[in-house]
Amino acid sequence: MVSVKKPLDQLWARGKEFLGVEYAIVGGAMTWVSERNLVSSISNAGGFGVIASGAMSPDLLRNEIQETQRLTQKPFGVNLITLHPQLMELIDVCVDTNVTHVVLAGGLPPAQAIARLKDKGLKVICFSPALVLAKKLIKLGVDALIIEGMEAGGHIGPVSTSVLVQEIIPHITQIPVFVAGGIARGETIASYLELGASGCQLGTRFVCATESIAHPNFKKAFIRAQARDATISPQLDPRFPIIPVRALSNQATQDFIAYQRELIEKVDRQEVAQKEAQLNIEHFWAGALRRAVIEGDVERGSVMAGQSVGMVTQEQSTQEIIDELISQARQFTSPHQIHAS
């Protein structure tokens, strides 16, 4: 039997059309990092930048979108956290500023949020950590999915990218599916496309872009790190479940363990309510992330990074990063005959 590999442009044609871009490479939304400069540079280089709104107020988000629009005429998206107390107001900001795509993250999105976005003609993208949830989101009307494995940086799920791809992609054909988690080279992007993905999302690979405003200390930590350095924050007590966070192991990792232990002891002594302690544990990383990304304290701050950090070896322009990824992917998918018995 003789088969011929599909060229790259054909493999991700669906993803390119959905995003309206030259390359179906999505910039993962990273709080404090994915702001106007990096987002616009990814879009200008042919990819799809995504603003990380995090805990922004509606006014702050409006300004960030408008500033990004001043820096690029290309499509980009906005990542909204579903647990944000002003989620619907943030959606209205996206509508008012003519954003074309919104990524809803951080939990199962409210049906009214999806309906509001769809009613106004915006494309809705959601994360799905399991096939059953993917099917539910499709019924709710989402336009595309991102499946992100535990190799990713920041808040992660329990399943690897390769397993999620096998579990979900063969069964979801109605809408585009983008793959994320542990991706740093073009050959890997191409391999997921060949398995049926419409595109891929990368975060860690873009942290050391020259356009990224991450502190030089933060970038140096990435360049020095190996894959094994990006570890998962531990949970000490099943009464206090935490969403695991993958970051470079440092003093902040030890501080988090000590902080959990302190709060657990206070609850046991009935000095603090369990709900309050749980909330404090969940809020720990927010301040620690800013401390690292913006202030450059890479020991006491949280250096969130995916396991692909070992392949980040230098600071490069966003254009150079994307050109490199495309070159690798094209070489991997270059048409040639494959002979199989």
- The whole-number average pLDDT for the span 89-94 is 98
Q: pLDDT (tens digit, 9 = 90+) per residue, 107-125?
A: 899 999 999 999 999 999 9
Q: What is the pLDDT of residue 206?
A: 98
> Is pLDDT above 80 for 337?
no
**How far is residue 169 from each of residues 19, 48, 106, 142, measured CA to CA in Å?**
19, 21, 21, 16
15 alpha-carbon distance from chain centroid = 16
Give the three-class secondary structure for 338.
Answer: strand
Q: What distance, in Å, lies between the first and last C-alpha atoms of the chain?
A: 6
Structure tokens at 86: 């002003």
Q: pLDDT (tens digit, 9 = 90+) per residue, 278-312?
A: 888 877 877 899 999 999 999 999 999 999 999 99
| Domains observed in the chain | 2-214+310-339 (3.20.20.70), 226-293 (no CATH)
Q: pLDDT (tens digit, 9 = 90+) per residue, 225-276?
A: 999 999 998 888 888 887 889 999 999 999 989 999 999 999 999 999 988 8
- The whole-number average pLDDT for the span 316-341 is 85
Structure tokens at 88: 């619907």
Q: What is the pLDDT of residue 274?
A: 87
> Is pLDDT above 60 for 141?
yes
The DSSP bridge pattern shows strands 76-81 and 101-105 to be parallel
User: Under a CB-based contact definition with an 8 Å cutoff, are residues 245 and 283 in contact?
Assistant: no
Q: pLDDT (tens digit, 9 = 90+) per residue, 142-155?
A: 999 999 999 999 99
Confidence of residue 3 (pLDDT cuts 50, 70, 90): low
> In this prediction, what percent of the chain has a pLDDT beyond 90?
85
Least confident of 3-7, 48-52, 156-160, 215-219: 3-7
Q: Quote the CA–CA distance of 96 and 84 in Å, as a whole number.
A: 19
Q: Quote the CA–CA distance of 199 and 77 in Å, as a whole number.
A: 15
> Is pLDDT above 70 for 338?
no
Q: pLDDT (tens digit, 9 = 90+) per residue, 153-209?
A: 999 999 999 999 999 999 999 999 999 999 999 999 999 999 999 999 999 999 999
Residue 76, C-beta contacts closer than 8 angstroms, at least 6 positions apart: 39, 40, 42, 43, 48, 49, 50, 51, 68, 99, 101
Mean pLDDT (the chain, rounded) = 94
Backbone angles phi, psi at 155, to 5 degrees: -75, 130
* pTM confidence score: 0.94
For residue 124, what are the β-bridge partners?
A: 102
At 177, which helix (H) or strand (E)? strand 177-180
Q: Quote the CA–CA distance of 196 and 131 in Å, as a whole number.
A: 15
